[in-house]
Copies of this chain bind each other. A is one copy, B any other.
Amino acid sequence: MRDVVVLGAGMTIFGKQPDRSIREMGEEAAFLALRDAGVKPGDIQAAWCGNVLGSLSGQQAAVGQTILEQVGVTGIPVLRVENACASASFAFKEAYMAVSSGYYDMVIAMGVEKMSGYDTATTLRAMAGTSDFDMEGVLGITFPGVFGMITRRHMHKYGTTMEQIAHVAVKNRSNGSLNPKSQFQGKVSINEVLHSRMVSSPLTLYNCCPISDGCAVVILTTDKVAKRYTSDPITVAASAQTSGTYQHDLDITEFQPTIRAAQQAYDQAGIGPEDVSLAEVHDCFTIAEIMHYEDLGFCKKGDGGILAENGDTQISGRIPVNSSGGLLSKGHPIGATGVAQIVELVEQLRGRAGARQVQNPRIGLAHCLGAFRHADVCSASVTLLKK
């Protein structure tokens, strides 16, 4: 297999952009990525586009083609991929596989989502379709409901407190305030997190990620080709994906698909969690980030709350997590998030993250989850980048 480099990265702001279409957001992000890479539209040989909710806008199919024509990328294989909130992570995986294996020399991995501009019930019903709809969705299961139950269980089993969990929201909102692309630009206090509107007990509003629109695009090529464009390549060190097993005796305070994907990724790269300089993880809810600390090996099981409370995952901490603001602050256009995580890691590893720059990062980790059924997540992805 050949080494693969992320040569270019671009994204729109994330946030509610009800007047902008998938096409408009996609055009902006694709243009930025092409310009960042310094390549021409005709250099791109294939593309994968993560998208989940295109059907809401009417653009049920061919989302990638609709966008890429705007920047002159036509004629090549373009494929929409979907794995719920991990869709773009899987777009990245397919693109990575295609370049590393020698199928193509330069490709696009992207993700796009438009979630605002519809009534909330419509968007939430579509989101419920990322559960097992016939067996659980119709019974009313929702993601805030699932993660509310997980929070209770984590508190019961490990003594985690809502104050500890609130530190995740405070940190990510603070990080987001340093990221011009972040949906939320303001900080919040522990007290504000604890006493914001209740969504799904014990999770209040600031413990939950928002509804967002946006697009993120990266361009992948081989290390050999990359030498023609940059002296400072960011290389893919690992890419591992799993799905759930949906067993009835699963412990909902941990996600086995994350644990397995992380182990595979660490093995591929020949490193351990202690070697990771920074991570973008799937903080759809504050408790999720706490779980991921543990499942990714940043602390031992049950200590996630302590890690957050101690500030170890702040930008200046031992293992900075979600320097971008994460899903909680940067926003979560579900089909775009996986590639947006890569965009943040690239910016950080290049040392161009401005006010939120992590000090001298060497290895970045991106972690994403998609869908949930039968007490298990349907897909997990862990990607490692290095400079």
Contacts and interface: CB of A to CB of B under 8 A. Distances in A.
Interface of A: 1, 21, 23, 52-55, 57-62, 65-66, 69, 74-84, 90, 93-94, 97-98, 100-103, 125-130, 132-134, 137-138, 241-246, 257, 260, 370-371, 373-374, 378-379
Q: Which 5 A-B pairs have the closest CB atoms?
A: A60-B129, A101-B101, A62-B371, A77-B241, A58-B133
A242 B76 contact: yes
A79 B242 CA distance: 10
A149 to B, nearest CB: 19
Contact of A373 (B60, B65, B93, B102): B65
Given A52-B60, A59-B132, 19 more contacts: A1-B101, A55-B60, A58-B137, A58-B138, A60-B126, A61-B84, A61-B371, A61-B378, A65-B371, A66-B373, A75-B257, A77-B90, A77-B242, A78-B379, A80-B82, A82-B82, A97-B101, A101-B101, A101-B103
A77 B243 contact: yes
Which of A60, A78, A82 neighbours the largest number of chain B CB atoms within 10 Å of its CB? A60
A172 B263 CA distance: 52
Nearest to A82: B80
Given A97-B103, A98-B97, A378 B243 contact: no
B126 A76 contact: no
Contacts of A98: 97
17 contacts: A55-B55, A55-B129, A58-B133, A59-B129, A60-B133, A62-B84, A62-B130, A62-B373, A62-B379, A66-B132, A74-B245, A75-B257, A78-B83, A79-B81, A80-B83, A81-B82, A94-B94
Contact of A129 (B58, B137, B138): B58
A315 to B, nearest CB: 32
A263 to B, nearest CB: 13
B94 A60 contact: no
Contacts of A244: 65, 74-75
Contacts of A133: 57-60
Nearest to A72: B245
A63 to B, nearest CB: 8
A241 B103 CA distance: 12
Contacts of A138: 58
B82 A128 contact: no
A100 B97 CA distance: 11
B75 A134 contact: no
A62 B102 contact: no
A341 to B, nearest CB: 18
A244 B94 CA distance: 21
Nearest to A127: B60
Nearest to A63: B82
Contact of A55 (B75, B126, B260): B126
